[in-house]
Chains A and B, each alone.
Chain A
Amino acid sequence: MAIEVRIPTILRTYTDGAKQVEGTGSTLAELFTDLEQRHGGLQARLIDQGGLRRFVNVYLNDEDVRFLAGLETPVKDGDTVTVLPAVAGGAR
């Protein structure tokens, strides 16, 4: 068992095109660090010094982790983590 992570199109260059990868960890931060071992470069697209990048949405099962505990959100085997780039823009 592991944690399933769904990767959006724009980040699949880091996963050899895979739509879904697996990782382990007890928090989201640990999971991302684990993924970085096999998918170098991915972590920097998800987090920066300030934590989760502003225009990346990460969901634990179906909940936005911003409404949970962010990078400290606990994760466990059998969970699904979904990464979606925020869709945003505007005239400003």
Chain B
Amino acid sequence: MGGPGGGLGWVVSGIMLRIPRELYDKIVAHARQDHPDEACGVLAGPAGTDRPERFIAMTNAERSPTFYRFDSAEQFRVWQDMDDKGEEPVVIYHSHTATEAYPSRTDISYASEPGAHYVLVSTRDSEATEFRSYRILDGVVSEEPVTVAE
């Protein structure tokens, strides 16, 4: 399955996502469970460490196969909670259920956490799950390698 479609910029910047197996599996399970709607959520970690440690499944307020949006009240509570715990959103994930795990124009235009890894999971194949990670900064997408820590 190909790289970025549509000739979008692709910058390799020597960064990566390192994610514990348990959290990786939880994201995939959430995406499978909500299929064919898009699933979304956050992995929180101690601020400044870039270490995802806590899995938080979020409600897709749109309940849609082609769009997701965090429920605003839930987002407020989760963001406050992270703030109280000295955490930040290290990973923001969502699924694409019929297309590849690459950020769409919509994903790029709404990306609003410059420090986060944007994880895209595709459940278009009923068995193989695509799991890819990106930085999205000022409209520029950079894919990064994913290392699953056992």
Known: A57-B76, A84-B76, A86-B70. A91 touches B112 (CB 8 A): no
Selecting from A22-30, A32-40, A59-67, the interface stretch reads A59-67
Chain B residues near A86: list those with CB within 8 A: 69-70, 72, 75, 110, 112
Known: A10-B114, A91-B38. A84 touches B66 (CB 8 A): no
The interface centre, meaning the residue of B58, B69, B99 with most chain A CB atoms within 10 A of its CB, is: B69
Within 8 Å of chain A (Cβ to Cβ): is B113?
yes
A84 to B71 Cα, complex, angstroms = 12
Chain A residues near B99: list those with CB within 8 A: 91
Q: Which of B28-80 contact A (CB under 8 A)?
A: 38, 40, 58, 62, 64-70, 72-73, 75-77, 79-80
A8 to B94 Cα, complex, angstroms = 21
Chain B residues near A64: list those with CB within 8 A: 72-73, 76
A86 to B61 Cα, complex, angstroms = 11
- Contacting pair B104 A92 (CB below 8 A): yes
Within 8 Å of chain A (Cβ to Cβ): is B98?
yes
Q: How many residues of chain B have a CB within 8 Å of chain A?
A: 34
- Contacting pair A55 B67 (CB below 8 A): no
- Size band of the A side of the interface? 10 to 19
Chain A residues near B98: list those with CB within 8 A: 91
Within 8 Å of chain A (Cβ to Cβ): is B106?
yes
Chain B residues near A62: list those with CB within 8 A: 76-77, 80
Within 8 Å of chain A (Cβ to Cβ): is B97?
yes
Within 8 Å of chain A (Cβ to Cβ): is B115?
yes
Write the residues of chain A forming the contact surface with B, with a CB cutoff of 8 angstroms: 8-10, 55, 57, 59, 62, 64, 66, 82, 84-92
21 contacting pairs across A/B (C-beta < 8 A): A8-B112, A10-B114, A55-B112, A59-B72, A62-B77, A64-B72, A64-B73, A66-B72, A85-B112, A87-B40, A87-B92, A88-B68, A88-B70, A88-B106, A89-B94, A90-B62, A90-B66, A90-B67, A90-B94, A91-B97, A92-B104
